[in-house]
Amino acid sequence: MSRQISGRPVLRVSLFITCYNDTLFPNTGKAVVRVLERLGHTVDFPAGQTCCGQMHWNTGYQAEALPLLSRFVEQFRGAEAVVVPSSSCVAMMRDHYPKMAEELADVKLKAEVAELLPNVYEFSEFLTKRLGLEDVGAYYPHRVTYHASCHGLRNLGLGDGPQRLLKAVRGIDLVEIAGLEQCCGFGGTFAVKNAEVSSAMLAEKTTAILNTKAEACTACDNSCLMHIQGALHRQRTGVQTVHLAEILAGDEVGA
Amino acid sequence: MSGTALDPRTAPTFPMAALTAMGDTQLRKNVRHATDVIQAKRARVVNEMPDWQALRESGKQIRQHTMEHLDYYLEEFEKNCTAAGGVVHWARDAAEARQIIVTLVKGLGATEVIKIKSMTTEEIQLNTALEAAGVHAYETDLAELIIQLGHDQPSHIVVPALHKNRQQIREIFKREMNLPELGESPQDLADAARTFLREKFLRVKTGVSGANFLIAETGGVCVVESEGNGRMCLTLPETLITVAGIDKVVPRFADLEVLLQLLPRSATGERMNPYNSVWTGVDVNGDGPKAFHVILMDNARTEILGDLEGRQTLNCIRCGACQNACPVYRQTGGHAYGSVYAGPIGAILTPQLQQMHHSQSLPYASSLCGACYEVCPVKINIPEVLIHLRNKVVKQNGMLNPEALAMRMMGIIFKSEGKFRAAQRLGRMAEAPLVRKDGRGQGWIGWLPGLLGGWTQVRDLQSMPEETFRDWWEKRESSKKQGVPRG
Ligand code: SF4
């Protein structure tokens, strides 16, 4: 028997929090749980999960990344839907996992990856594409600008999905940033290996954010936000960064 | 930038060269402005094409097919070019290519040549070799002329003088052409260049060119350009020498139907290049050069071809769109890449042309944002190749350096939940002495040691929260089980 919420089936969502959100941004995870449960879905959290392997893979440490693939598959095998609040980690999985399975020459793993991947969603993508939602019943009375993280924009093709979710938030004052499609300069280990160039790219991004006069900058990826926030705080701008899920989790007090 | 040619073998690492380049405020302003202008033009003429994505796919298929059968198409080109009266030479590397050209030019008794803009001749540092043999090369492309007169180096594959603005160009022309009264309108500068060049076109009997495409089916060579100076070089001299990488071949004349739509729109934001020249051999009784040589140069391209993942690099049609779109290039300009091939294409091509013996910092000169891949007219997945090359660099460096050790340790940590949790706890303890609280009670780290110091140079780092997500989740689950209302 499958349960329904206003005609839609109730899904059992498996949350892949990702290593850095687990460690540094637990509030994002809590917000994802809040939104999904508020929509009537159930959430589970496979305890043995760690990291998707993106940092290793993108820096050139392929041998270290490979074992993380089978770990992911073991943890999420058979999941109805896997939701990940990090666009770059989803891009890592979608763009590289099939090839990694190929490289491991493991036929069974390859088949499992092929079966699992279509059910892996970036958080906003899950809401807009899988659930077909725009209004998730959120309230967030602040001036906000949206930063389109490169992996979400180009690798996942999120398009204006995140902005549509934001527009439906009650009380929000959403302002568009200049140079929306321009990279913020994070790039994982790029930020330390090419710190000078990364900083210059970041300066352009924070300038654009400050020009919007927003109180907060949001995105679908805390890694970009951590980098942006680092500079906004260093300059004591008072402007915050906040993951999209945390905005969508906002409730109207007493509503 | 001095007059010494860009040489990947002696160039500083990218981060070091970038630091120098970024100190040049004028350069950064020029690069930002020029790339913004070209990108906007490109976007306009690309967006008007309903079948742009299909065209890109065709372009990719044509190039991929050619690379898979490169030996066949090169021989076909040689046969057809020879039949049309051209002389085909094969060069294994840059040194052989230089030697063939110098020998040909000296054999003609020439002391001067006129040149069409060609990045291949820059790659092999031809002008220096000619100069050493007592032959002066005159660059006729406006941007290349600016570079040559300014004792500078190209910083972009389509717009080599992109890093210079009009005032700087005027200064160079005033000084080098001895024109103290020179005005500063684009017209004044173009007129000065025209007067300077016209006399060379009429006097010099030997032309040297590169090629955009070599057409196997006809043995023809295709060059596209905006100024018409190239066509002068192709028609006025008695002898024409073309040097091209073996990757420049295309199977059929009809393939230009696709490629000549993709190239100009991507390169200069034009619907079509003002000048599209195709020459096939010689016509001894008609117009044009009476002798025509083509040097087909390998220079590590066969090695690249042999690497299945790196191979797509050879599909490049040198449009420069990836350079204009690149947020890293935007900050540094081209010279920081230490090679005539700058930007994303340079970051993948140069290390491979050096067979991974030099330029190992270039695959890391990217945030992997993917803007290059998005605009590439032949769909080269540049981020994928960058990652592939990074893996080669990691293998070269071995596992005993600090970065590799840290990465290996992280790899071990991620293999077990228990180790991961222990590392999270340890991290919290280790960072504690560095954390300062702000007004909201949020902890921040303003300084980090070693490799991580790059982070705190301009950014703070938020301290680790007291509780990880999985700790919170566990508590919540167990309180649910015990029936404690959650709050
Ligand atoms: S890699 Fe693609 S975008 Fe870059 S120059 Fe070559 S063809 Fe153009």
Domains and CATH numbers, chain A: 4-130 (1.20.1050.140), 143-249 (3.40.50)
> Which of helix, strand or coil describes residue B181?
coil
Q: What is d(CA A120, CA A112) in angstroms, rounded to the nearest whole number? A: 13
Residue with tokens 């040194």: B95
On whether residue B269 sits in a domain, the answer given is: yes
**Residue nearest (by alpha carbon) to ligand 1 atom 4:** B322
- Tell me how far apart the alpha carbons of residues B303 and A224 are, in angstroms, rounded to a whole number: 37
Q: Is the pLDDT of residue A1 over 60?
A: no
0.90 surpassed by complex ipTM: yes
The reply to whether residue B408 touches residue A64, judged by beta carbons under 8 angstroms, is: yes
Residues B296 and B426 in one domain: no
Note whether B415 and B279 are same-domain residues: no
**In whole angstroms, how far apart are CA B179 and each of A197, B165, B172, B190?**
39, 18, 10, 13
- Domain assignment present for residue B347? The answer is no
Residue B460 lies in a domain: yes
- Say yes or no: B290 and B434 in one domain: no
Angle in degrees, 0-180, between the axes of helices B14-22 and A195-211, rounded to the nearest 10: 50
Structure tokens at A7: 């005609």
Instruction: Find the domain containing B126 and state its range.
Output: 14-303
Out of A53, A154, A191, closest to residue B374 by CB: A154
Statement to judge: residues B296 and B416 lie in one domain: no
Residues B425 and B280 in one domain: no
Q: Which among B303, B323, B345 is the end of a domain? A: B303
Would residue B150 count as lying in a domain?
Answer: yes
Last residue of a domain, one of B279, B303, B327: B303
Do B147 and B38 sit in the same domain of this protein? yes
* Residue B430 resides in a domain: yes
What is the average per-residue pLDDT within A76-83? 96
- What's the gap in Å between B346 CA and the centre of ligand 1? 9
pLDDT at site A65: 96
Residue B372 domain-assigned (yes or no): no
> Residue B316 domain-assigned?
no
| CB contact at 8 A, B226 and B19 | no
The answer to the question of residue B85 being in a domain is: yes
Contact list in A for residue B387 (CB cut-off 8 A) is 57-58, 60
CA distance B471 to A208: 37
Point out the ligand 1 atom lying closest to the alpha carbon of residue B321: 3
Evaluate if residue A255 carries a pLDDT over 60: no
* Angstrom distance (rounded) from CA A129 to CA A156: 12
Q: What is chain B's pLDDT, residue by residue, as a tens digit (487 residues)?
A: 445 788 999 999 999 999 999 999 999 999 999 999 999 999 999 999 999 999 999 999 999 999 999 999 999 999 999 999 999 999 999 999 999 999 999 999 999 999 999 999 999 999 999 999 999 999 999 999 999 999 999 999 999 999 999 999 999 999 999 999 999 999 999 999 999 999 999 999 999 999 999 999 999 999 999 999 989 888 899 999 999 999 999 999 999 999 999 999 999 999 999 999 999 989 888 888 999 999 999 999 999 999 999 999 999 999 999 999 999 999 999 999 999 999 999 999 999 999 999 999 999 999 999 999 999 999 999 999 999 999 999 999 998 999 999 999 999 999 999 999 999 999 999 999 999 998 888 999 999 988 889 899 999 999 999 999 999 999 999 998 887 554 4
Task: Check if B374 contacts A (Cβ < 8 Å).
Answer: yes
| Domain total in chain B | 2
Taking alpha carbons only, the member of B109, B75, B341, B338 closest to residue B214 is B75
Mean pLDDT of all residues belonging to chain A: 95
Listed residues B259, B278, B303: the one ending a domain = B303
Q: What is the predicted pLDDT for the residue at A6?
A: 66
If asked whether residues B66 and B210 sit together in one domain, one would say yes
Atom 8 of ligand 1, nearest CA residue = B319
Rg of chain B over CA atoms, in angstroms? 27
Q: What is the pTM of this model?
A: 0.96
CA angle B300, B17, B247 (to 5 degrees): 20
The pLDDT tens digits for A147-191 are 999 999 999 999 999 999 999 999 999 999 999 999 999 999 999
pLDDT of residue A171: 97
- Which residues form the pocket of ligand 1, taking CB atoms under 6 Å from any ligand atom? B 266, 316-322, 345, 375-378, 380
Contacts A30 to B, Cβ<8 Å: 469, 472
Closest alpha carbon to B213 in B265, B254, B246, B250? B250
CATH of the domain at B268: 3.40.50.10420
- Helix, strand or coil for residue A196? helix
Q: Best mutation site among B250, B319, B350, B382 for ligand 1, i.e. most ligand atoms within 8 A of its Cβ?
A: B319
Q: Do B278 and B427 reside in the same domain of the chain? A: no
* Contact list, A22 vs chain B (CB under 8 Å): 424, 468-470
From B162's Cα to the closest Cα of chain A, the distance in A is 19
pLDDT at B107: 96
Contacts of A139 (CB under 8 A, 6+ apart): A169, A170, A171, A250, A251, A252, A255
**Which of B29, B32, B331, B366 to probe the A interface (max A CBs under 10 A)?**
B331
* pLDDT tens figures, A2-12: 566 666 789 99
Give me the residue label for tokens 């590289």: A96
